[in-house]
Chains A and B, each alone.
Chain A
Amino acid sequence: MSNANLIILLSTLSTGLILGAIFALVAAGVTIVYGSIWMPNAANGQFFVLAALFGWTMTVGWGLSPWVAALLVIGLSVPLSYILEILLIRRFYDVPNRNISYFVLSLGITQILAGIYAITYGRWSDQFQLPPLVGGITLIGPFPIANNRLMVLAIALAILAALFILLRFHRYGRALRAVFQNREAATLRGVNVRAIYSLSFILGNAVIFAGGVLFALAYSFDLTVAWTMAITAFAIMIIGGPGSVLGAVVVGMVFGFTQAIVSIFASPTIAAFSYLGAMLLILLFKPSGVFAR
């Protein structure tokens, strides 16, 4: 294999891995919230961009170290989601067919946040770039990759692993999965379903925020990322099976690689067409998703 081909291959691999890990994080966040409280959060893309913009303000505006900023942003998601949960989300916990109400509600939130970004950040800049976590470049064979992107990839994979361990082994994670599977049975086993609802909303959003701030650290971004991310996360959730974190991670990775490959050989629009087409097919023929239990 010639050097040029090897470089293309490695660059596709690295982009695919980073994008895939970030897609997986956001889709996992969306699917945790949908699986527990039945809320299809269309505002996930706006939350994703919100995290990225907070990260930008903290590093570029206030001069904080990107490490501190990333931690602060993820920490900040907890009180913000909790306030949102108390104000809006909690009211619908007992409503049957609440997913459509939640969907509309999250579209409303999307529109508010998009409007706010347009009149605040949108006036300052088109393109936002954060300082890197670590400097330097590593050579993998002939292919140079920024250490910063490797670090982002490592952190994203570490967060995904932590999420899996939490869901599989920790008491709260097991209670959360019990609620995914059967609310009534979980209640009978002494699980406080409402507390789990709050917890999963906060956990899901924290994961989305982590995805947003990591994306901002690896790539420069603009405000249109929000809608693309929202639709992509939905596509991943539907194809992977709503409520299945494993499905979200696997399909998220597949989407990351698809995006990386298609962006090299065709246009990103073709990638978007292919996701949406796949999602429509799954919706029509197997709405429970590929990884449904």
Chain B
Amino acid sequence: MTAMPAENTPRGLAVHWPLAAFTVAAVLVPTLLSGNRYLAFVAGMTLLHILWATGMNLLYGYTGLMPLMFAGLAGISAYFVVNLTSIGWSFWLALPVGTLAASVAGTILGLPSLRLKGFYFTLCSLVIQTVITLGFVYFASITNGDTGISQIPRPSIPGGGELTGLGYEIVIAVMAAIGIAVLMLIVRSPFGRRLAAIREDDGLAETLGINVTYQKLAAFFIGSLYAGVGGALYAPYIGFISPRSFDVLISMNIWLMVAFGGRGTIWGPVFGAMLLAPIPFLLQDYYTVKDILYGVLIIAVTILMPGGLASGFRRKVPKAAVAQDIPARRLDPRRAA
């Protein structure tokens, strides 16, 4: 089970139309909602979470690692961008720099995944996330501690003026679409198949001549790029960041979007993010209810549908050409959790 048989992956237009449809919808929805600034903002946040969920999906869904430090990486990028722009950098220069910082951090912090598997890696990443959060609180000269940084200026547009409102949402929409397209390319490339092989059995992948170390670190580098771009866009968009914006709960929420939608599918996590990300904003005053709701969903996903929504849909499709040599283990739904 090193790679999916090529015949199983749809090609040509069959792949491109959902992406095209998503891109159009991602641009149209904020445009249509722009009459109501708040709803447009919710749409923008949802798109941002789609970007994050897609990155988490690369790591959790396709490489089989569960990094609970994802929000921390986004935070590193966000703090980089805020500090660089405050000393006069252009946002458009700070964005790649912050993203790169998050990626380098993510690659280094992903090193434990080479030694630790399953629960132990997840625990390790949880510890790393906690250390990052403590660091955000502790190094108050850069992060302003628990108070957070408010009134972050909007990015300026090269032609003059500020990127506000709808323009910002369209930038996020385009980034989300690019993110999904990149994930699609990765999944269909030999690199993506090597990652899937590592997910199924990294010992076996190693014996097949796959350089597991290199592939895992590459996956971390790319996955952290998503976290970084998302974090960089998040800070000026919402205008306020604090260590709580990037703590372990946020990591869990992003993980839940992937698991709830369906790990290891392109569109499952996108739907997961679409359904879950708007909830805290729509609840407004009752937004602490979100924690309870997300917690219940985490338990429900673990117990009732380890494959997420996507596997629920997929079950209805008759399995026509399943290759004979797929190990039964892979079909065991419990393993997915």
Are A101 and B288 in contact (CB-based, < 8 A)? Answer: no
Find A40's partner among B66, B123, B292 (CB 8 Å cutoff): B123
**With known contacts A105-B302, A107-B252, A112–B119 Cβ distance under 8 A:** no
Q: Does B157 contact A (CB under 8 A)?
A: no
Are A105 and B335 in contact (CB-based, < 8 A)? Answer: no
Closest 10 CB pairs of A and B: A115-B291, A108-B298, A112-B295, A111-B295, A115-B292, A99-B119, A108-B299, A101-B337, A100-B119, A118-B288
Find B291's partner among A95, A111, A273 (CB 8 Å cutoff): A111
* B290 surroundings in chain A (CB, below 8 A): 115
Closest to A279 in B: B127
Are B119 and A88 in contact (CB-based, < 8 A)? Answer: no
Contact with B along A253-289 (1 / 0, CB 8 A): 0000000000000000100110011011001100100
Find A100's partner among B122, B127, B295, B299 (CB 8 Å cutoff): B122
* A100 surroundings in chain B (CB, below 8 A): 66, 118-119, 122, 337
Are A287 and B294 in contact (CB-based, < 8 A)? Answer: no
Give Cα A116 to B290, complex, Å. 10
Are A114 and B291 in contact (CB-based, < 8 A)? Answer: yes
A95-134 contacts to B, CB under 8 A, are 95-97, 99-101, 103-105, 107-116, 118-119, 122
Q: Which of A42, A112, A272 has the most CB of B within 10 A?
A: A112
B117-155 contacts to A, CB under 8 A, are 118-120, 122-124, 126-128, 130-131, 134, 137-138
Contact with B along A17-59 (1 / 0, CB 8 A): 0000000000000000000000010100000000000000000
Are B116 and A283 in contact (CB-based, < 8 A)? Answer: yes
* B112 surroundings in chain A (CB, below 8 A): 280, 283-284
* A40 surroundings in chain B (CB, below 8 A): 119, 123
Minimum CB–CB distance from A273 to chain B (whole Å) comes to 6
Q: Which residues of A contact B (CB under 8 A)?
A: 40, 42, 88, 91, 95-97, 99-101, 103-105, 107-116, 118-119, 122, 227, 231, 234-235, 238, 269, 272-273, 276-277, 279-280, 283-284, 287
Q: Does B21 contact A (CB under 8 A)?
A: no
Closest to A237 in B: B123
Are B131 and A101 in contact (CB-based, < 8 A)? Answer: no
Give Cα A227 to B249, complex, Å. 11
* B127 surroundings in chain A (CB, below 8 A): 231, 234-235, 276, 279-280, 283
Q: Is the interface of A mostly helix, strand, loop or mixed?
A: helix
| 22 A-B pairs (CB sep. < 8 Å) | A40-B119, A96-B335, A99-B119, A100-B122, A100-B337, A101-B302, A101-B337, A105-B299, A108-B295, A108-B296, A109-B299, A114-B291, A114-B295, A115-B290, A234-B127, A235-B127, A269-B137, A273-B131, A273-B134, A276-B134, A284-B112, A284-B115
Are A272 and B134 in contact (CB-based, < 8 A)? Answer: yes
Q: Which residues of B contact A (CB under 8 A)?
A: 66, 112, 115-116, 118-120, 122-124, 126-128, 130-131, 134, 137-138, 248-249, 252, 259, 288-299, 302-303, 334-335, 337
* A95 surroundings in chain B (CB, below 8 A): 334
Closest to A112 in B: B295
Find A112's partner among B137, B259, B292 (CB 8 Å cutoff): B292
Minimum CB–CB distance from B285 to chain A (whole Å) comes to 11
Are A91 and B303 in contact (CB-based, < 8 A)? Answer: yes
* A283 surroundings in chain B (CB, below 8 A): 112, 116, 120, 123-124, 127
Are A88 and B303 in contact (CB-based, < 8 A)? Answer: yes
Are A88 and B299 in contact (CB-based, < 8 A)? Answer: yes
Give Cα A25 to B126, complex, Å. 23
* B119 surroundings in chain A (CB, below 8 A): 40, 99-100, 103
* B126 surroundings in chain A (CB, below 8 A): 42, 231
Closest to B68 in A: A107
Minimum CB–CB distance from A186 to chain B (whole Å) comes to 22
* A118 surroundings in chain B (CB, below 8 A): 288, 291
Minimum CB–CB distance from A98 to chain B (whole Å) comes to 8
Give Cα A101 to B302, complex, Å. 7
* A99 surroundings in chain B (CB, below 8 A): 118-119
Give Cα A165 to B59, complex, Å. 46
Are A269 and B138 in contact (CB-based, < 8 A)? Answer: yes
Find A104's partner among B134, B293, B298 (CB 8 Å cutoff): B298
Are B294 and A111 in contact (CB-based, < 8 A)? Answer: yes
* B252 surroundings in chain A (CB, below 8 A): 107, 111
Minimum CB–CB distance from B336 to chain A (whole Å) comes to 9
Closest to B299 in A: A108
Minimum CB–CB distance from A112 to chain B (whole Å) comes to 3
* A287 surroundings in chain B (CB, below 8 A): 116, 120
Give Cα A89 to B153, complex, Å. 48
Give Cα A89 to B278, complex, Å. 31
Minimum CB–CB distance from B281 to chain A (whole Å) comes to 16
Are B123 and A105 in contact (CB-based, < 8 A)? Answer: no
Minimum CB–CB distance from A222 to chain B (whole Å) comes to 14
Find B249's partner among A91, A105, A111, A269 (CB 8 Å cutoff): A111
* A115 surroundings in chain B (CB, below 8 A): 288-293, 295
**With known contacts A104-B337, A115-B289, A119-B288, A109–B118 Cβ distance under 8 A:** no
Are A238 and B123 in contact (CB-based, < 8 A)? Answer: yes
* A119 surroundings in chain B (CB, below 8 A): 288-289
Q: Which of B112, B119, B252 has the most CB of A within 10 A?
A: B119
Minimum CB–CB distance from B5 to chain A (whole Å) comes to 26
Find A234's partner among B66, B123, B259, B303 (CB 8 Å cutoff): B123
